[in-house]
């Protein structure tokens, strides 16, 4: 949507925080969040990750021995992260979008002892859709160079 701070302050972090606006629709419910949760360079990592998933070079992330999932792409602010849940023989990928803290569903926010990255939404996409999503993300980031 915008930089968190309109004026450049001379701080490489504060100058580059992007406010992300997201609406989530699932069978469990709908919610939205608007939060400064990605740095400009981190936002560009999302594009690279989507393209790598489309190319088949991202490994599937399975739960660990305790059944916990850790995303393979995460950022300084742990509101948003990504991992690959699966891939079919025809190249269709199932990605997980991990949502934590202020980005989590309202019915999970404020849970005592809530694990970061505990909640995720799975999205099934073929390679063409992944590349299109990467292109659209790049277009949305064009007005926000690193400052």
Burial class (CB in 10 A: 0-12, 13-18, 19+), 98: buried
* C-alpha span between 96 and 71 (Å, rounded): 8
How many domains does the chain divide into?
A: 1
pLDDT digits (tens, 9 = 90+) for 100-118: 999 999 988 766 545 688 8
Residue 54, in any domain of the structure = yes
The H or E element containing residue 133 is helix 127-141
pLDDT of residue 97: 96
Residue 6, in any domain of the structure = no
Residue 27, in any domain of the structure = no
pLDDT mean over 89-105? 92
pLDDT digits (tens, 9 = 90+) for 31-61: 999 999 999 999 999 999 999 999 999 999 9
Q: What is the pTM of this model?
A: 0.90
Residue 130, in any domain of the structure = yes
Residue 9, in any domain of the structure = no
Residue 127, in any domain of the structure = yes
Per-chain mean pLDDT for the chain? 92
Helix pair 40-55, 127-141: axis angle to 10 deg: 160
pLDDT mean over 127-137? 97
* C-alpha span between 17 and 46 (Å, rounded): 15
* More confident position, 138 or 111: 138
> DSSP assignment, residue 44?
H
Range of the domain at 49: 43-140
Residue 13, in any domain of the structure = no
* C-alpha span between 27 and 129 (Å, rounded): 22
């Amino acid at each position: 949507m915008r930089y968190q701070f309109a004026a450049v302050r001379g701080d490489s972090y504060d100058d580059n925080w992007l406010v992300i606006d997201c609406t989530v629709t699932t069978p469990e419910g709908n919610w939205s969040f608007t939060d400064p949760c990605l740095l400009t360079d981190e936002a560009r990592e999302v594009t690279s990750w989507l393209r790598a998933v489309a190319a088949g070079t991202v490994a599937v992330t399975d739960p660990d021995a305790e059944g916990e999932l850790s995303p393979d792409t995460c950022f300084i602010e742990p509101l948003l992260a990504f991992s690959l849940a699966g891939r079919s023989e025809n190249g269709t990928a199932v990605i997980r979008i991990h949502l934590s803290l202020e980005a989590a569903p309202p019915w999970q926010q404020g849970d005592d002892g809530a694990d970061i990255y505990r909640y995720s939404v799975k999205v099934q996409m073929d390679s063409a859709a992944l590349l299109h999503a990467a292109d659209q993300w790049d277009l949305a980031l064009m007005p926000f160079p690193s400052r």
